[in-house]
Structure 1
Amino acid sequence: CTVHTDRGSQFRSRKFVGALHRHSMVGSMGRVGACGDNAAMESFFSLLQKNVLNRHAWTTREELRIAIVTWIERTYHRRRRQDGLGRLTPIEYETIMTTTATQAA
């Protein structure tokens, strides 16, 4: 698991870095002065918060994990059009790029 953060001092602290290592996670930080670096992830997590996390009280981590994966696979990847992909969904974009690459080969 990769945890992407901004360059805030709380994310560079020994305590935070130690927690990442204890939980077998890798830290990732945006570049200095690149405000758009985190924009895509912040948008994603905002949608995740509104559409999954705030809608139900989860009794187990496994239930929450399944709900998150289901939302990503059924809704986010299949229905949400993204500007960075020419207003295509990730599934549509992947299909076009795979077909184009196959035809080129």
Structure 2
Amino acid sequence: MKSVTLVIRSGPTQALGTREMIDMALVLATFECPVSVILQDAGVLWATLPEMPDSSPLAISGKLKSLPLYDVETILVDQGSCSSWDFEPSDQFPGSVASHETIKRCLDDSDVVLEA
């Protein structure tokens, strides 16, 4: 099966496409498709796990935390973007901060790359 990498570049207040990307990651992983998630640019702000009311279209913190339960083990947060936004990911966020080289390697190893 082809491997898929989802690159999320939009922050919590910028676009609703992020919610669909996370849903897509969960569905693909359910069918045992190898999935990686990369947060870059303003997308790294999702790693703060913003608390929002469940009725908000931006409330995806629970889905982000559940990615490892679906065997989505590669969740990378761009180190350069973190520096640009001057923040560190939440301790509860399941991903890890990665260098540009690590992210490039992940993208190169993936069969399909989708961005939002």
- Provide TM-score, normalisation by structure 2: 0.22
Higher strand content, 1 or 2: 2
Higher helix content, 1 or 2: 1
Highest relative contact order (Cα 8 Å, sep 6+), 1 or 2? 2
